């Protein structure tokens, strides 16, 4: 029965109780991405907090998008598996890396971003109370995606470098395999492996992945992107016995186009879930995504961007983690003292140290020293940002 207000009228603001699942997985908390979205920030703000590119895709890609919008077929539903040209493009890029002749009918699924792909895997495979291990800091969407599907998150932290030197490497964030072993229970269903890791930039080594693989009775989700300094990006699916347990995810984020690659035994049930959740993904942009030359020429550009930012941190004298992969740098801001009266925009007031969002409450202190900087921005923007960041010295 609806509550009565003081004036005796029925309070109509909460007539219909919402589902209790929204009370789990921090789903009701405002997500950091919305808080720090451009719309909430002053116009002259340079946002290095979010990992979006501030430059347009290459012209041949936008041209392909335009052509797709002007033709008939791509403006309708695509097959729930994804448009065949995109599946063929994914096959030719990933097949050699996975040493497989991928079957475009049963081993590749186009999704509405990595998020929807992962959500569909959880829907397809989790039973109520199944446990999903995630390494902290974790990408925040994993948590509600797991709990909405009845899963129970189990957290295993990556341990930050303990040495007090200025620059540490992302591979100094370590996984304690004994701790991981202790976290596994008979209810464990999955381990989410995110490599190169967002936000740490860690590229899990072959040894680490072999140790995880040997513990795995479950399948894993991988996030695939950029690896610097010639560091080898080992695909867990390539380790002995792991193809059948692994689903690899990747995406062109803003377009809400992503894809999953894995054995038919994982992809087919996931297709059933994804078909009922979104039916299919943005069709015209799938056609354009076929023309994306997956990361060609990007490494040197990203290495330059990383250098602009990290040189500035060296100069300021703040500790940071040099990423071996991804486009994020973790800066230790524990020595930065925010003045009480610093004019933070109202929308982000009190959120100066939001890195805690990537940990469970119990482990939040592990990450409280850090802020994440994204360098997927053009060099001029990064240089402008660096000019402003130099002023951090005044607050140390």
Ligand X SMILES: Cc1ncc(COP(=O)(O)O)c(C=O)c1O
Identify the bridge partners of residue 168 per DSSP, sorted by sequence position. Answer: 321
- Among 382, 243, 364, smallest CA distance to 304 is for 382
Residue 258 binds ligand X (CB under 6 A): yes
Phi first, then psi: give them for residue 182, nearest 5 degrees.
-65, -25
| CB closer to ligand X, 98 vs 260 | 260
Residue 220 binds ligand X (CB under 6 A): no
Residues 172-211: x where in contact with ligand X by CB under 6 A, - otherwise, as a string: ----------------------x---x-------------
The residue from 253, 275, 347, 381 that contacts ligand X (CB under 6 A) is 253
Instruction: Tell me the two tokens of residue 74.
Output: 């791509």
Site for ligand X in 1-60 (CB under 6 A): 51
Residue 328 binds ligand X (CB under 6 A): no
Q: How many residues does the chain have?
A: 396
Residue 139 binds ligand X (CB under 6 A): yes
List, in order, residues 6 or more apart from 286 with CB less than 8 Å away: 74, 78, 82, 83, 85, 86, 110, 257
Q: Which stretch binds ligand X (CB under 6 A): 3-11, 111-119, 157-165, 275-283?
A: 111-119
Residue 357 binds ligand X (CB under 6 A): no
- Among 268, 287, 297, 261, smallest CA distance to 96 is for 261
| CB closer to ligand X, 78 vs 316 | 78
Residue 219 binds ligand X (CB under 6 A): no
Q: CB of residue 33 vs ligand X: minimum separation in angstroms?
A: 9
User: Could you tell me the strand order of the sheet in which 328-332 lies?
Assistant: 167-169, 320-322, 328-332, 370-374
Identify the bridge partners of residue 328 per DSSP, sorted by sequence position. Answer: 374
Tell me how far apart the alpha carbons of residues 359 and 347 are, in angstroms, rounded to a whole number.
Answer: 22
Tell me how far apart the alpha carbons of residues 162 and 174 are, in angstroms, rounded to a whole number.
Answer: 10
Q: CB of residue 106 vs ligand X: minimum separation in angstroms?
A: 22
Q: Which stretch binds ligand X (CB under 6 A): 21-29, 95-103, 110-118, 362-370?
A: 110-118
Residue 286 binds ligand X (CB under 6 A): no
For residue 365, cis peptide bond before it (omega within 30 degrees of 0): no
Residue 274 binds ligand X (CB under 6 A): no
Q: Which stretch binds ligand X (CB under 6 A): 88-96, 108-116, 128-136, 174-182?
A: 108-116
Q: Are 221 and 247 in contact, with CB atoms under 8 Å apart?
A: yes
Q: Rule CB under 6 A: which residues touch ligand X?
A: 51, 113-115, 139, 194, 198, 223, 251, 253, 258
């Amino acid at each position: 029965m609806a509550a009565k207000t003081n004036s005796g009228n029925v309070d109509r603001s909460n007539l219909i109780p919402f589902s209790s699942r929204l009370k789990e997985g921090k789903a009701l908390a405002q997500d950091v991405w919305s808080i720090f979205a451009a719309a909430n920030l002053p116009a002259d703000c340079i946002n290095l907090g979010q990992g979006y590119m501030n430059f347009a895709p290459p012209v041949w890609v936008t041209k392909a998008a335009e052509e797709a919008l002007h033709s008939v077929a791509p403006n309708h539903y695509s097959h729930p598996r994804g448009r065949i040209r995109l599946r063929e493009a994914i096959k030719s890029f990933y097949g050699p890396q996975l040493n497989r002749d991928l079957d475009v009918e049963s081993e590749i699924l186009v999704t509405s971003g990595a998020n929807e792909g992962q959500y569909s895997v959880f829907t397809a495979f989790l039973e109520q109370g199944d446990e999903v291990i995630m390494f902290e800091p974790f990408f925040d969407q994993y948590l509600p995606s797991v709990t909405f599907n009845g899963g129970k998150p189990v957290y295993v932290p990556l341990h930050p470098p303990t040495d007090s030197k200025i620059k540490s490497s992302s591979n100094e964030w370590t996984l304690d395999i004994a701790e991981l072993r202790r976290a596994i229970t008979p209810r464990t269903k999955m381990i989410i492996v995110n490599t190169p890791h967002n936000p740490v930039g860690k590229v899990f080594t072959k040894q680490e992945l072999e140790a995880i693989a040997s513990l795995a009775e479950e399948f894993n989700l991988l996030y695939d992107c950029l690896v610097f300094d010639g560091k080898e990006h080992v695909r867990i699916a390539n380790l002995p016995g792991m193809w059948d347990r692994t689903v690899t995810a990747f995406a062109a984020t803003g377009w809400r186009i992503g894809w999953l690659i894995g054995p038919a035994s994982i992809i087919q049930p996931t297709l059933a879930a994804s078909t009922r959740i979104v039916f299919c993904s943005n069709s015209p942009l799938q056609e354009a995504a076929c023309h994306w030359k997956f990361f060609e020429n990007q490494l040197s550009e990203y290495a330059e961007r990383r250098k602009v930012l990290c040189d500035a941190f060296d100069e300021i004298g703040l500790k940071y983690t040099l990423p071996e992969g991804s486009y994020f740098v973790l800066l230790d801001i524990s020595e930065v003292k925010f003045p009480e009266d610093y004019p933070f925009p109202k929308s982000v007031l009190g959120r100066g140290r939001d890195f805690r969002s990537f940990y469970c409450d119990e482990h939040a202190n592990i990450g409280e020293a850090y802020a994440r900087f994204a360098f997927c921005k053009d060099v001029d923007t990064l240089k402008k940002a660096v000019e402003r960041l130099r002023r951090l010295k005044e607050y140390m």
